Amino acid sequence: MRAPDSAPPSALHSLLTPSELSTADAHNACTSYVLQRMPRLRRAIWWLPGPKREPLIALMAWHLLLQESSDQGRLPGELMGWRAVLSECYGQQPKRTLARALRPPLRDFDWPQDLFQGALEAHAELDRIGSFETRTDLLKQARRQSRGTAWMLLSVVGKRSERCDILADALACALQLIHWLEQLPNCLERGYLPLAIEDLSRHGLNILSLPKETGSPRAQALLASQISWARELLAKGWPLALEIGPYQGRLLSFVLRQQAARLGAMEASQWSLFAAPEPAGWTRILSCLCVSLATRAAPPF
């Protein structure tokens, strides 16, 4: 079932609505939202130097909320709100909470509007695409949705370079693929398939047969190949943790180890095609935190 084409204004998320909040309060609202979405980041985020924390939080709020709007099928109804946020970010008087939080770092780092606009358009058109013929097509979509945010995050930590951009691109694609795997039942219900048709064919599957294959050996082999692909991209981009300094590098290492743990949890649970995967669990997360404090190097994949 596809998302409705419109939604009443009251359905807009509070970060997308006009408010009387000050810039500081808008940042606090974004922080609360980010920690609600990523509660296990609560302690790790204080590794960041203060001046970098606010712009990173604002960007994460933008990315996570856009992702949530898309995942829950709210984006068609919220599209005007998102466009208003962008307009206010690059206009004179931001009124919406997210725009108020984004405006100061946007001025400080001179982020181009097309990076935000490209991500918004990529998410908005996802329902219309439906499926992807090749891994190249799927990777292109993942890149369009996430690369702009990754590059802006690099500008905050002062590490924009050709090498860092390439590493960040690999990580952004890996994280998007992992997110799609976790959201696979939801994606299929909404009418689009974040898997390459060529991968389905390679495992003797097709779009019509998928509902009958949940938990089958062929479906398990397909998901195993997707997990392996995501791991390859994580390994390719992991050296970025060594490039961006000891504090930011350890935070990035923790985030990436979390993602690797999520992939491990998927494998261990042998989850079926139409069931949400089991969470990684606190034991895995604490292990990720301890290892990240000790080293920024990648684990053996």
CATH number of domain containing 248: 1.10.600.10
Does residue 32 sit within a domain?
yes
pLDDT one-digit tens code per residue, 39-59:
866 666 666 666 788 898 999
pLDDT of 299 reads 77
> 181 and 92, same structural domain?
no
Domain of 79, in residue numbers: 17-129
Does residue 37 sit within a domain?
yes
Q: Kindly report the pTM of this predicted structure.
A: 0.86
The overall average pLDDT reported for the chain is 85
Q: What is the mean pLDDT of residues 125-137?
A: 89
Q: What is the mean pLDDT of residues 72-97?
A: 92
**φ, ψ at 118 (rounded to 5°):** -60, -40
Does residue 149 sit within a domain?
no
Does residue 39 sit within a domain?
yes
> 163 and 301, same structural domain?
yes
Does residue 182 sit within a domain?
yes
pLDDT of 121 reads 94
- Does the pLDDT of residue 1 top 50, yes or no? no
**Could you tell me the pLDDT band of residue 197, with boundaries at 50, 70 and 90?**
very high
Q: How far apart are CA 103 and CA 58, in angstroms?
A: 9
Handedness of CA 144, 148, 154, 157 (dihedral sign): negative
> 166 and 125, same structural domain?
no
110 vs 210 pLDDT, higher one: 110
Residues with Cβ within 8 Å of residue 92, at least 6 apart in sequence: none
> 121 and 186, same structural domain?
no
125 vs 8 pLDDT, higher one: 125
Contact 4, 73 (CB under 8 A): yes
> 188 and 117, same structural domain?
no
> 163 and 123, same structural domain?
no
**Range with the poorest average pLDDT among 7-21, 178-192, 240-254:** 7-21
Domain count for the chain, please give it. Answer: 2
Q: How far apart are CA 255 and CA 209, in angstroms?
A: 35
- Does the pLDDT of residue 179 top 50, yes or no? yes
pLDDT of 45 reads 66
Q: What is the mean pLDDT of residues 194-208?
A: 92
**φ, ψ at 132 (rounded to 5°):** -130, 130
Does residue 110 sit within a domain?
yes
> 81 and 213, same structural domain?
no
Does residue 49 sit within a domain?
yes
Q: What is the mean pLDDT of residues 109-124?
A: 93
- Does the pLDDT of residue 235 top 80, yes or no? yes
pLDDT of 274 reads 60
Q: What is the mean pLDDT of residues 216-233?
A: 92
Q: What is the mean pLDDT of residues 278-285?
A: 61
- Does the pLDDT of residue 10 top 70, yes or no? no
Contact 263, 175 (CB under 8 A): no
> 300 and 169, same structural domain?
yes
- Residue 43, Ramachandran bin (φ over 0: left; ψ between -120 and 50: alpha; else beta): alpha
Instruction: For the chain, give the percent of residues with pLDDT over 70.
Output: 86
- Does the pLDDT of residue 238 top 90, yes or no? yes
> 101 and 188, same structural domain?
no
Does residue 146 sit within a domain?
no
In Å, what is the CA distance from 16 to each residue of 97, 153, 179, 233, 255? 6, 21, 23, 33, 26
pLDDT of 229 reads 97
> 271 and 198, same structural domain?
yes
Contact 210, 203 (CB under 8 A): no
